[in-house]
Amino acid sequence: MARDYLKTATRTSTTDASEVHDTVQAILDEIEAGGDAKALDYAARFDRYDGNTLLTPEEIEAAIAQVPEKLKADIRFAHDNVRRFAELQKGTVADVEMEIEPGFVAGQKAIPVDAAGCYVPGGRYSHIASAIMTVTTAKVAGCRHITACSPPRPGVGVAPAIVYAAHICGADRIMAMGGVQGVAAMTFGLFGLPKANILVGPGNQFVAEAKRILFGRVGIDMIAGPTDSLILADATADAQIVATDLVSQAEHGYNSPVWLVTDDRALAERVMEIVPDLIEDLPELNRDNARAAWRDYAEVILCADREEMAATSDDYAPEHLTVQAGDLDWWLDRLTCYGSLFLGEETTVSYGDKASGTNHVLPTSGAAGYTGGLSVHKYMKIVTWQRATREGSKAVAQATARISRLEGMEGHARAADVRLAKYFPGENFDLSAHD
């Protein structure tokens, strides 16, 4: 049986590919040339904020004092989970070495990048969790300097809860600046900050484009598109929970795709019946986003069996993948393309988005087919080294000389020749290119 699309998207995440490149490039060029003053000009225009760019310790303490104790406790809970999971991840990377040949040792070393720039969205929503996810992982990785950057609100500044989260998670400086100008300030080392080696964190289309343009000059976590989510559900799934989970992710934005893949027509039809009512029950802004996302981007796909469901999911390579079906171990072993996987009704993408410990900065638009999300490893450079005795280098030098000459790289060959001549005078070696 071929996939049966009970609901088909009329738009995709690439339909509205924004033509913002020229605008973002111009802003970056002007800020690089104009430095702090030009960044402040753009901040005044777009952020409509004239307070301190880098928060002082006194301003941080004042912001923290505004955060309710119960919210502080929730932030500390989420931070602890993210920190412990990041520490677990870091433990999977070890410095190692091996003897390639007698006397010739090669090794691997994991070194954290020096400076990280963490962008924390603060426009329509205060993304407290993004501060936790980005700053905590950078801290656990061992970055020497971490800047948290978030858009200030006119007359208010950075949301106090974001300030608190960034502070307890280990940010060295907190910058009240949003958009392209914030990204540029971290990249170019403005306002006395060290130049960022890596930029991480979600943002709007202008932030995403700025990171894309700057990639190569600095590292980035990923090129992000609209968030997307897919649910795999069989006849054992609860239609109300499936529908609620779809709507919970559709509220991210008008162009956030959500997909249901199932082998049970009755479940699919029931979910499609429930979703519109759940959307209409949301607050206005959330409702508008979810309504458009469901109308234009959502799909409901009926498959013949679980193998076809799994193959469909791998083809989509979703950012978030939920399984509400029997035999969860089978799905865990079978599925290969996703940013983060949520197995069973007892967990949900919302847990991962906010507090369970896994990171919510994940690959979108099919990028999960080749990469994972933000983790402690993103901040670490896996580098190699080697050391040899003179005798240990003997066989390697001969092979290097011959391969180099075959490739036509005589300079490389002579770097090996000179060592053989020095270390083993009087010995004759066949260093000509292979026939």
Give, as one character, the DSSP assignment of residue 190. Answer: G
Residue 354: what are its φ and ψ, rounded to 5°? -120, -45
Domain 21-219 matches domain 226-372 at the CATH topology level: yes
Task: Centre a 10 Å sphere on the Cβ of residue 196 and count the other Cβ atoms it contains.
Answer: 29
Please say if the pLDDT value at position 18 is more than 80: no
Contact 131, 148 (CB under 8 A): yes
pLDDT digits (tens, 9 = 90+) for 182-225: 999 999 999 999 999 999 999 988 999 999 999 999 999 998 88
Q: How confident is the model at residue 322 (pLDDT cuts 50, 70, 90)?
A: very high
| Average pLDDT of the residues in 340-345 | 97
Please say if the pLDDT value at position 434 is more than 80: no
Closest CA to 355 of 34, 74, 6: 74
Closest CA to 121 of 227, 201, 211: 201
Average pLDDT, the chain: 95
Show the tokens assigned to 406. Answer: 């075959």
Query: What pLDDT does 50 receive?
Result: 87
pTM, 2 dp: 0.92
Q: How far apart are CA 182 and CA 47, in angstroms?
A: 10
Q: What residue ranges do the domains of the chain occupy?
A: 21-219, 226-372, 389-435
pLDDT digits (tens, 9 = 90+) for 115-161: 999 999 986 667 899 999 999 999 999 999 999 999 999 888 999 99
- Chain-centroid distance of CA 117 in Å reads 13
Report the length, in residues, of the chain: 435
CATH of domain 226-372: 3.40.50.1980
The catalytic residues are 319-320
Q: How far apart are CA 305 and CA 352, in angstroms?
A: 28
| Average pLDDT of the residues in 307-316 | 98
Contact 349, 316 (CB under 8 A): no
Q: How confident is the model at residue 96 (pLDDT cuts 50, 70, 90)?
A: very high
Query: What pLDDT does 274 receive?
Result: 98
Q: Which CATH number applies to 21-219: 3.30.450.20, 3.40.50.150, 1.10.10.10, 3.40.50.1980?
A: 3.40.50.1980
Percent of the residues in the chain that have a pLDDT greater than 90, as a whole number: 90
Contact 397, 419 (CB under 8 A): yes
pLDDT digits (tens, 9 = 90+) for 390-426: 999 999 999 999 999 999 999 999 999 999 999 999 9
